[in-house]
Amino acid sequence: MAAFEIRDLSFTYPNENKPALDNITMSIPEGRITLICGASGSGKSTLLRRLKTCLADHGKAEGDVLFFGKALDDIGQAEQARRIGFVFQHPDDQIVTDKVFHELAFGPESLGWDQARMRLAVAEMASYFGLDELFEKNVAELSGGQKQLINLASAAVLRPDVLILDEPTSQLDPIAAADFLGTLRKMSEDLGLTVILTEHRLEEALPMADMLAVLDEGRLIAFGEPKKTVMQVKNSAVFESMPAAVQIFAAVDGEGDAPLTVSDARAFIALRARTSVKGEQPSVETCPETAAELKNCWFRYEKNAPDILRGLSLTLHKGEIFALLGGNGSGKSTTAGLLSGRLKPYRGKVKTNGLRVAALPQDPRELFVKDTVLDELKELNPEEASLSHVTELLELEGVLSRHPFDISGGEQQRLALGKVLLTAPDVLLLDEPTKGMDGEFKRRFGELLSRLKAEGKTIFLVSHDIEFCAQCADCCALLFRGEIVCRSAPRKFFSGNFFYTTAAARLSRGMIENAVLTGEVIECLKQ
């Protein structure tokens, strides 16, 4: 039986003409993982929220949603709350109480369960998720990944039939994201739970999905088994976000089922790889002039805390895009803090040669105080010329009269960048700029960085996003335990790494030398 039967569902937001969902018909199978993907604004979240009455947006809706054969609207709030679990995007915002155990108990409390039943449900969930250690902790002490796990557990504690997750890993670092998806998959397998999931990071999510639905501008353009479905959407915007394996397969006109995992893709590439060496060794021109420099810097947050940076030295050349990679807690953000002057090393030197250094916050909304985008830019009293230059450079013309909190995530980031640029910095520091962005946004953001570079800005980028750094950076460095262990041009950097490298490099290792970007692998295969 289908968990959800969606029939001719259309939905239009108030004051909009174009429907956000356009005549969607699909049947979501029970006990399977269904992945819904689509570019930003394709209606993924809107669709998910229509699957639970209390979350459905206001607006004009047509069509039917059946939940296990019964019209969803005829099912009471309490029953829906119990049977349909929902996990949202921001791990931090959906936690409402101060303690882990209280958060787990929130659902049972709301549904008025008695003490004995609550105790059992909560204990069971905490044991299943291995939360014993965290049970009495303050939520504030948890990492993003742990928080999202708590959110999953507190939805699962009601023993739902269906679990719906709206981009649950978009705010997590790659390792926490993989952990989260792993747990989700295990749960689905252990319990035969129906899972409906949207994701923009498809590299990990796609191989675990049983069904794939692709949305484009509110329409369902493909639905079915992933390895077949991916090939039907070759020409849509969402294809940019597909795993490297799928993109390569499609670009060289592979036949049959698309490879979704690294091993499948390697088998495919082994068949097709005729040239084994990619030609020229890259030559990156770095302007010898130094923009900023850290010399043998040591840093810790408190006198008795462990050192975060241990003798870090790093040179930033003028006009380059420098990417600093590394795991959580390796000291990436701290390094940016030293460059911005916000933090001071207790030993060592930071030299910025009189250049203005400005950092863009990870959450762009931290800079917004006004009611419109235009006022936001004007807050810094810029000259007319620089204002219009920035507006044009960042493509903000269309949204000048909107509220800064109502524009899309990509636009918010460009607006925040605009505000920072209006203070005329020479060196820009970006902390995880591509967090939560889909493939298309990332490409546009990369293009924007090249434009800024062309204007002579030096850009320092802290990121987990290997693919993005490989694509955009002039120089990459790996930070580990407060020290730089490797620093070179991206091609050398990523082709030399074994684990910490791009998907394309992993797919083609040993078959195509020096290939780092998906496009390069495709080119070699086409030769």
Partner 1 sequence: MNDAFSQLHPAASFAFFVAVITLTMLYMHPVLLIISLAAAAGYVCILKGARHFGKTLIYLVPFLIFMSVLNALFNHAGVTPLFYLSNGNAVTKEALTFGFYASVMLSAVILWFECFNVVMTSDKLLCLFGRLSPSVSLLLSMALRFVPKFGRKIRSIDAARAQIGQGSAQGGFIRRVKNSMKVLSVTLTWALESSLTAANSMKSRGYGAARRTSFSLYRFTVRDAVTMVLCAFAVGVTAACVVSGGIYARYYPSVIISGFGGIPALGMAAFALLCFLPQLFDAKEALVWRRLRSAI
Partner 2 sequence: MPQTVKKSRVTVTLTVIVLSAAAIAVETWLWSSRKYYLTSVIIILLAMLPFFARFEGRRPQVREIVLLAVMTAFAVAGRVAFYWAPQFKPVCAIVILTAAAFNAEAGFITGAAAGLISNMFFGQGPWTPWQMFGFGLVGFFAGVLFGGREVKTVPMLVYGFFSVLIIYGVLLDTGSLFMYSQEVSLKALLAMYASGFTFNLIHASGTVVFLLLLQKPVLSKLRRIKIKYGMLQ
Rounded distance, CA 254 to CA 271, Å?
Answer: 11
Q: Which does 58 bind (CB under 5 to 8 A by kind): partner 1, partner 2, none?
A: partner 2
Strand partners, 430: 360, 461
Q: Which does 112 bind (CB under 5 to 8 A by kind): partner 1, partner 2, none?
A: partner 1
User: Which residues have C-beta within 8 Å of that of residue 116, sequence separation ≥ 6?
Assistant: none
Q: Which is nearer to partner 2, 71 or 78 (CB)?
A: 78
> For residue 489, which of 506, 473, 501, 500 has the smallest C-alpha distance?
473
Rounded distance, CA 150 to CA 130, Å?
Answer: 11
By CB under 8 A, tell whether 489 contacts partner 1.
no
Binding residues for partner 2, total number by CB under 8 A: 5
Residue-by-residue DSSP string for 340-356: HTSS--SEEEEE-TT--
> For residue 395, which of 339, 444, 435 has the smallest C-alpha distance?
444
Separation of first and last alpha carbons in the chain: 48
By CB under 8 A, tell whether 120 contacts partner 1.
no
| Residue numbers 39-78 binding partner 2 by CB under 8 A | 58
Helices (H) and strands (E) in the chain, counts: 19, 19
Q: Which among 131-139, 244-252, 479-487, 519-527 is the span making contact with partner 1, rule CB under 8 A? A: 131-139
Q: Which is nearer to partner 1, 154 or 229 (CB)?
A: 154
Please check whether residue 527 is in contact with residue 277, taking contact to mean a CB–CB distance below 8 angstroms.
Answer: no
| Residue numbers 402-421 binding partner 2 by CB under 8 A | 403
| Residue numbers 85-124 binding partner 2 by CB under 8 A | 96
By CB under 8 A, tell whether 358 contacts partner 1.
yes
> For residue 503, which of 472, 477, 471 has the smallest C-alpha distance?
471
Please check whether residue 212 is in contact with residue 29, taking contact to mean a CB–CB distance below 8 angstroms.
Answer: no
Structure-token match 């952990």, residue found: 179
CB of 87 to partner 2, least distance (A): 18
Tell me how many degrees the CA angle 490-493-494 measures, rounded to the nearest 5. Answer: 85
> For residue 500, which of 511, 513, 512, 485 has the smallest C-alpha distance?
485
Q: Which does 185 bind (CB under 5 to 8 A by kind): partner 1, partner 2, none?
A: none
CB of 148 to partner 2, least distance (A): 20
Q: Which is nearer to partner 1, 77 or 127 (CB)?
A: 77
Q: Which among 73-81, 222-230, 244-252, 386-394 is the span making contact with partner 1, rule CB under 8 A? A: 73-81
CB of 13 to partner 2, least distance (A): 13
Q: Which is nearer to partner 2, 73 or 93 (CB)?
A: 93
By CB under 8 A, tell whether 74 contacts partner 1.
no
User: Which residues have C-beta within 8 Å of that of residue 231, sequence separation ≥ 6?
Assistant: 249, 250, 258
> For residue 147, which of 180, 175, 123 has the smallest C-alpha distance?
180
> For residue 281, which of 496, 469, 525 has the smallest C-alpha distance?
496
Strand partners, 196: 34, 164
Q: Which among 6-14, 117-125, 169-177, 192-200 is the span making contact with partner 1, rule CB under 8 A? A: 117-125
CB of 91 to partner 2, least distance (A): 18
Please check whether residue 246 is in contact with residue 258, taking contact to mean a CB–CB distance below 8 angstroms.
Answer: yes
By CB under 8 A, tell whether 302 contacts partner 1.
no
HEC string for 438-471: CHHHHHHHHHHHHHHHHCCCEEEEEECCHHHHHH
Q: Which among 207-215, 278-286, 354-362, 451-459 is the span making contact with partner 1, rule CB under 8 A? A: 354-362
CB of 494 to partner 1, least distance (A): 30
Residue 442 backbone phi and psi in degrees, to 5 = -65, -45
Q: Which does 363 bind (CB under 5 to 8 A by kind): partner 2, partner 1, none?
A: partner 1
Q: Which is nearer to partner 1, 121 or 212 (CB)?
A: 121
Which residue in 38, 108, 144, 226 binds partner 1 (CB under 8 A)? 108
By CB under 8 A, tell whether 94 contacts partner 1.
yes
Which residue in 371, 397, 447, 455 binds partner 2 (CB under 8 A)? 371
* Residue 120 C-alpha from the chain's centroid: 35
CB of 177 to partner 1, least distance (A): 19
By CB under 8 A, tell whether 257 contacts partner 1.
no
Q: Which does 102 bind (CB under 5 to 8 A by kind): partner 1, partner 2, none?
A: partner 1
Contact set with partner 1 (CB under 8 A): 52, 54-55, 76-78, 81-82, 85-86, 88-90, 92-99, 101-102, 105-115, 118-119, 122, 136, 138-140, 151, 154-155, 158, 340, 342, 358-361, 363, 365-369, 379-380, 405, 419-420, 422-423
Contact set with partner 2 (CB under 8 A): 58, 96, 369, 371, 403
